[in-house]
């Protein structure tokens, strides 16, 4: 008999553990951390190195949000000051080994994974990527469902969904099955104010008692553990009003010393966004297309057959290579990941974060191609120069056209090449893309 969320999830009551107040961060230590980052940032601002400054701010933001006291799991009660989250899971223990693979892409902020009876309970915060992303939006049921449908394919196949009331939470429940049907994941998407928390129970086979317990854990969870002091935040911001870099940095330090790290990082994010808007886009120089801020240059692969130009319209900018006789088009886009996504990308920048970098570049390429409505034909990992890359090829318009995407990760930059052509021009366009990657695109 096939079980679905409609038959196996029951409403449960649960109680909470006693409150606990972790030791507050030392203001002198936080002051030193802020001064260190300011000292590295200000010369970049003076030199108008906006790309370098955005990366430095992203690292500063990451350091701030990691300054919260470590999460605790004592006597069955888990508490996280960073995520203002508290829940009781009696009889569970912290899982050993690496985080579940699906929790590692940029859209997740892994909170904790627990284990019991061979099952695992993972908790993550969704979103916080950028203001432009829908991931983690709690403004409506539809927005939460959209996030859920982004998450599901990374875990398995969708089995069913339903909304339900668990404790004080109205929750979206999603059943996910592994490809072989032997593993079941029940995911509960819990809006807690503007934060979207996902609890996921992974089981090898069905255990209805464990499911009831899981529902109770989620129903009794709280999103108000050590909440931010909004009155203090407003007071500190009012005392240092203004948006110049010096004022923002002074305000950031004041908020951080008060222990309001999320508020401090949010102010920095505003400064980072303004810097990102100041980074020069693509331009033409001596017949070549250049991204001057990053030293990236593209020369025309065949001037007799293609026109190379720099395009900019609203938020879209790219170098384009368009056929003079046909309808093929090739675009080269560069995205400063640190400037646009902030602390979310800091963990994937080191060279030793190989697996994270692979997941990031694969997800970026798949997303870029499938967002055009393409039906994937093939995909593969590549190495271009010394940079990790990923390629996805898909059919468009029911097979009347084809798109080839190649995403390259160079440090904190994402470079995306998209070639689109009618079926008759696919082979020639593919050769041109490969020639660009081999000879004409200097990274």
The predicted-structure confidence for 317-329, as pLDDT tens digits, reads as follows 899 999 999 999 9
Residue 327 and residue 360 in one domain: yes
pLDDT at 150: 84
Number of residues in the chain:
443
Q: Quote the CA–CA distance of 53 and 274 in Å, as a whole number.
A: 11
Closest CA to 418 of 307, 330, 301, 336: 330
Q: Residue 173 belongs to a domain with what CATH number? A: 3.40.1000.10
Residue 40 and residue 168 in one domain: no
Residue 241 three-state SS: coil
- DSSP per-residue codes, 209-238: HHHHHHHHHHHT-BS-SS---HHHHHHHHH
Residue 321 and residue 211 in one domain: no
Q: Is residue 216's pLDDT more than 70? A: yes
Q: Quote the CA–CA distance of 116 and 297 in Å, as a whole number.
A: 54
Contacts of 308 (CB under 8 A, 6+ apart): 284, 287, 288, 289, 298, 299, 300, 319, 320, 321
Burial string for 124-148 (b: 16+ CB within 10 Å, else e) reads bbbbbbbeebebbbbeeeebbeebb
Check: CB of residue 200 under 8 Å from CB of residue 185. yes
- Give mean pLDDT, residues 107-113: 88
- Give mean pLDDT, residues 407-431: 93
Q: Is residue 21's pLDDT more than 60? A: no
Percent of the chain with pLDDT over 90: 63
Residue 210 and residue 82 in one domain: yes
Given 239, 262, 278, the domain boundary residue is 278
DSSP state letter for 293:
T
- Give mean pLDDT, residues 265-274: 92
Q: Is residue 7's pLDDT more than 60? A: no
- Give mean pLDDT, residues 265-278: 90
Residue 61 and residue 84 in one domain: no
**Does pTM surpass 0.85?**
no
pLDDT at 305: 94
pLDDT at 314: 67
Closest CA to 338 of 402, 273, 387, 292: 273
Contacts of 12 (CB under 8 A, 6+ apart): 166, 167, 212, 213, 215, 216, 219
Residue 330 and residue 391 in one domain: yes
pLDDT at 353: 64
Q: Is residue 6's pLDDT more than 80? A: no
Residue 135 and residue 32 in one domain: no
Residue 39 and residue 185 in one domain: no
DSSP state letter for 348:
G
- Residue 217: pLDDT band by 50, 70, 90 thresholds? very high
Given 236, 261, 278, the domain boundary residue is 278
Check: CB of residue 212 under 8 Å from CB of residue 203. no
Given 253, 278, 303, the domain boundary residue is 278
Closest CA to 236 of 228, 227, 226, 244: 228
Domain that holds residue 318: 283-442
Calculate the alpha carbon distances from 17 to 217, 219, 222, 388 in Å.
Answer: 12, 14, 11, 47
Check: CB of residue 78 under 8 Å from CB of residue 86. yes
pLDDT digits (tens, 9 = 90+) for 162-188: 999 999 999 999 999 988 878 899 999
Q: Is residue 194's pLDDT more than 90? A: no
Q: Is residue 81's pLDDT more than 70? A: yes
- Residue 109: pLDDT band by 50, 70, 90 thresholds? confident
pLDDT at 322: 96
Q: Is residue 31's pLDDT more than 60? A: yes
- Residue 128: pLDDT band by 50, 70, 90 thresholds? low
- Give mean pLDDT, residues 35-50: 94
Q: Give 74 or 99, the one with higher predicted confidence.
A: 74
Residue 77 three-state SS: strand
pLDDT at 351: 63
Range name among 215-229, 255-269, 364-378 with the lowest pLDDT average = 364-378
- Residue 15: pLDDT band by 50, 70, 90 thresholds? very low
pLDDT at 13: 27
Residue 323 and residue 200 in one domain: no
Number of domain units in the chain = 3
- Residue 89: pLDDT band by 50, 70, 90 thresholds? very high
Check: CB of residue 9 under 8 Å from CB of residue 207. no
């Amino acid at each position: 008999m096939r079980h679905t969320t409609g038959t196996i999830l029951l409403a449960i009551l649960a109680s909470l553990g006693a409150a606990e107040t972790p030791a507050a961060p030392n203001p002198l230590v936080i002051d030193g951390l802020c001064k260190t980052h300011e000292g590295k940032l200000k010369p970049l601002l003076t030199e108008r190195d906006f790309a370098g400054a955005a990366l430095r701010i992203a690292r500063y933001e990451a350091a701030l949000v990691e300054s919260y006291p470590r999460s605790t799991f004592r006597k069955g009660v888990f508490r996280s000051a960073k995520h203002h989250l508290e829940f009781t899971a009696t009889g569970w223990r912290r899982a050993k080994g690496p985080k579940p693979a699906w929790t590692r892409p940029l859209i997740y902020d892994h909170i904790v994974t627990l284990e019991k009876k061979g099952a695992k309970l993972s908790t993550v915060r969704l979103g916080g990527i950028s203001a432009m992303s829908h991931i983690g939006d709690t403004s409506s049921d539809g927005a939460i469902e959209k996030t859920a449908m982004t998450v599901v394919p990374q875990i398995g196949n969708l089995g069913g969904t339903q909304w339900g009331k668990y404790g004080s939470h109205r929750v979206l429940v999603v059943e996910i099955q592994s490809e072989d049907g032997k593993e079941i994941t029940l995911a509960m998407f819990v809006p807690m104010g503007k934060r979207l928390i996902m609890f996921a129970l992974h089981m090898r086979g069905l255990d209805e008692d464990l499911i009831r317990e899981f529902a109770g854990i989620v129903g009794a969870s709280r999103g108000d553990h050590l909440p931010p002091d909004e009155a203090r935040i407003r007071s500190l911001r009012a005392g240092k009003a203004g948006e110049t870099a010096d004022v923002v940095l002074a305000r950031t330090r004041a908020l951080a010393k008060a222990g309001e790290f999320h508020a401090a990082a949010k102010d920095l994010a505003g400064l980072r966004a303004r810097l990102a808007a100041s980074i020069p886009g693509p331009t033409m120089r001596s017949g070549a297309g250049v991204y001057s801020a990053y030293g990236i240059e593209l020369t025309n692969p065949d001037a007799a057959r293609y026109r190379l130009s720099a395009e900019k319209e609203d938020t879209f900018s790219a170098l384009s290579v368009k056929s003079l006789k046909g309808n093929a088009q090739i675009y080269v886009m560069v995205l400063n990941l640190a400037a646009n996504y902030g602390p979310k990308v800091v963990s994937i920048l080191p060279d030793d974060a190989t697996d994270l970098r692979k997941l990031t570049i694969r997800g970026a390429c798949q997303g870029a191609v499938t967002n055009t409505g393409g039906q994937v034909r093939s995909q593969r990992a590549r190495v271009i120069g010394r940079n990790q890359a990923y390629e996805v090829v898909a059919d468009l318009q029911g097979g009347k056209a084809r798109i080839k995407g190649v995403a390259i990760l160079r440090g904190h930059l994402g470079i995306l090449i998209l070639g689109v052509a009618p079926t008759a021009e696919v082979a020639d366009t593919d050769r041109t893309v490969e020639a660009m990657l081999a000879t004409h695109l200097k990274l």
